[in-house]
């Protein structure tokens, strides 16, 4: 089942929302490939993209958090670091084991669900804080 961008995921920051959409689209592209029997072929592209793009995206978020003195910056940064470890772990396993069905499933569910939940629970708090600071 594809992940759908909803108003609930909007932070109100154009750059962050655009980057979130890119991340969700990468997961959805893998889901589409899986539904047509091409998941194993696509998983390496998806994992490589996520490994690179999450680091870039998280750096952008962290710059904004520091600029606006987000009070929970340390914890938020830790969430990002933990997620990068998950993606890097999947990438390492992909290189060692190849594109297994289990690995494809982990990318779809573990990474996709983490992103959605993180946006809903944490990134919206950051966006609210930034909005309050810029009023």
Identify the top-confidence range among 29-43, 70-84, 121-135: 70-84
**Residue 72 belongs to some domain of the structure:** yes
- The pLDDT assigned to 116 comes to 93
**Residue 3 belongs to some domain of the structure:** no
- The pLDDT assigned to 105 comes to 81
| pTM of the model as a whole | 0.88
Nearest to 126 by CA among 50, 62, 53: 62
Q: Per-residue pLDDT tens for 59-118?
A: 999 999 999 999 999 999 999 999 999 999 999 998 998 888 888 888 878 888 999 999
**Residue 17 belongs to some domain of the structure:** yes
Question: What is the separation of C-alpha 127 from the centre of its chain, rounded to a whole number of angstroms?
Answer: 16
Long-range CB contacts (within 8 A, 24+) of 90-97:
90/47, 91/47, 91/48, 91/51, 94/43, 94/44, 94/47
Determine the average pLDDT of the residues in 39-52.
88
More confident residue, 39 or 50: 50
Q: Per-residue pLDDT tens for 19-31?
A: 999 999 999 998 8
Looking up residue 109, the CATH number of its domain turns out to be 1.20.120.50
CA distance 119 to 132: 18
**Residue 5 belongs to some domain of the structure:** no
CA distance 89 to 95: 10
Beta strands in 19-95 (DSSP E): none
Asked whether 26 and 46 are in contact (CB, 8 A), the reply is yes
Asked whether 108 and 82 are in contact (CB, 8 A), the reply is no
Instruction: Tell me which residue range forms the domain holding 50.
Output: 13-133
């Amino acid at each position: 089942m594809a992940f759908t961008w909803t108003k609930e995921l909007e932070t109100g920051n154009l750059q962050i929302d655009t980057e979130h959409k890119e991340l969700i689209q990468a997961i959805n592209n893998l889901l589409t490939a899986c539904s047509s029997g091409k998941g194993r072929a696509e998983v390496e592209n998806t994992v490589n993209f996520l490994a690179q793009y999450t680091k870039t995206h998280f750096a952008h978020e962290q710059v904004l958090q520091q600029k606006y003195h987000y009070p929970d910056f340390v914890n938020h940064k830790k969430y990002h670091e933990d997620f990068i470890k998950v993606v890097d772990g999947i990438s390492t396993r992909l290189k060692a084991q190849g594109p297994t069905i289990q690995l494809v499933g982990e990318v779809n569910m573990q990474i996709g669900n983490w992103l959605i939940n993180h946006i809903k629970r944490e990134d919206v708090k950051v966006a609210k804080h930034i909005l309050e600071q810029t009023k």
